[in-house]
Homo-oligomer: A and B are copies of this chain.
Amino acid sequence: MIIDVHGHYTTAPRQLREWRARQIESAGRPFTEPLSISDDEIRETIENGQLRLQRDRGTDVALFSPTAGGMGHHFGDARTSIQWSRTVNDLVHRVCTMFPDNFIGVCQLPQSPGVSPTECIAELDRCVNELGFVGCNLNPDPTDGYWTDPPLTDHWWYGLYERMVELEVPAMVHVSMSCNPNFHGTGAHYLNGDTTAFMQFLLSDLFRDFPTLRFVLPHGGGAVPFHWGRYRGIAQDMGRPPLEELLLGNLYFDTCVYHQEGIDFLVKVMGAPNVVFASEMIGAVRGVDERTGRYFDDTKPYVDAVPGITEAEKRRIFQDNALEAYPRLQSRLGVAPA
Residue ranges of A at the interface with B (Cβ–Cβ < 8 Å): 140-141, 145-151, 180-184, 186-188, 191-192, 195-196, 198-200, 202-203, 219-220, 222-223, 225-234, 236-237, 257-262, 265-266, 268-269, 284-287, 289, 296-297
Q: Can you list 15 residue pairs at the A/B interface with Cβ under 8 Å?
A: A141-B182, A183-B199, A184-B200, A184-B202, A187-B231, A191-B195, A223-B223, A223-B226, A228-B259, A229-B261, A229-B262, A230-B259, A233-B285, A233-B296, A236-B287
Residues of B within 8 A of A148 (CB): 146, 180
In the complex with contacts A184-B203, A226-B226, A265-B265, A258-B233 CB distance below 8 A: yes
Contacting pair A227 B184 (CB below 8 A)? no
- Of the listed residues A145, A222, A269, the one surrounded by the most CB atoms of chain B closer than 10 A to its CB is A222
- In the complex, the count of this chain's copies comes to 2
With A151-B182, A227-B258, A261-B265 known as contacts, the answer to whether A289 contacts B140 (CB < 8 A) is: no
Question: A195 to B223, Cβ gap below 8 A?
Answer: yes
Residue ID in chain B nearest A268 by CB atoms: B261
Known: A184-B199, A192-B195, A196-B192. A227 touches B234 (CB 8 A): no
Chain B min CB distance to A182 (Å): 4
A47 to B17, CA, bound (A): 63
Residues of B contacting A284 in the complex (Cβ-Cβ under 8 angstroms): 230, 233-234
Smallest Cβ distance from A275 to chain B, in angstroms? 13
CB distance A182 to B200 under 8 Å?
yes
Known contacts A146-B146, A183-B147; is-contact A229 B257 (Cβ 8 Å): yes
Name the one of B187, B228, B285 contacting A262, with C-beta atoms under 8 angstroms.
B228
Complex A-B, nearest 6 residue pairs according to Cβ-Cβ distance, in ascending order: A229-B259, A233-B285, A229-B258, A223-B223, A233-B296, A187-B199
Interchain CB contact under 8 A, A289 and B233: yes
Q: Which residues from chain B contact A265 at a C-beta distance below 8 Å?
A: 226, 261, 265
CA distance A338 to B259 in the complex (A): 32
Say yes or no: A230 contacts B258, CB within 8 Å: yes
Q: Are A187 and B259 in contact (CB under 8 A)?
A: no
Q: Which of B188, B203, B229 meets A195, CB within 8 Å? A: B188
Tell me, rounded to whole Å, the shortest Cβ–Cβ distance linking A306 to chain B.
14
Task: Tell me which of B147, B220, B269 contacts A182 (CB under 8 A).
Answer: B147
A266 to B227, CA, bound (A): 11
Q: Give bound CA distance, A329 to B13, whole Å.
A: 58
In the bound complex, residues from chain B placing their C-beta under 8 Å from that of A232 are: 258-259, 289, 296
Residue picked from A196, A226, A231, most chain B C-beta under 10 Å: A226
Instruction: Determine how close the nearest CB of chain B comes to the CB of A99; give it in whole angstroms.
Output: 27
Residues of B within 8 A of A227 (CB): 191, 219-220, 257-258, 262
Residues of chain B within 8 A of A191, CB atoms compared: 195, 222-223, 227
Chain B residues whose CB sits within 8 angstroms of the CB of A230 once the complex forms? 186-187, 219, 257-259, 284-285, 296
Contact among B226, B233, B286 with A225 in the assembled complex (CB-CB below 8 Å): B226
Contact A147–B150 (Cβ < 8 Å): no
Residues on B with C-beta less than 8 A from A196 are 182-183, 188, 192
A234 touches B141 (CB 8 A): no
- The distance in angstroms between the C-alpha atoms of A186 and B225, with both chains bound, is 15
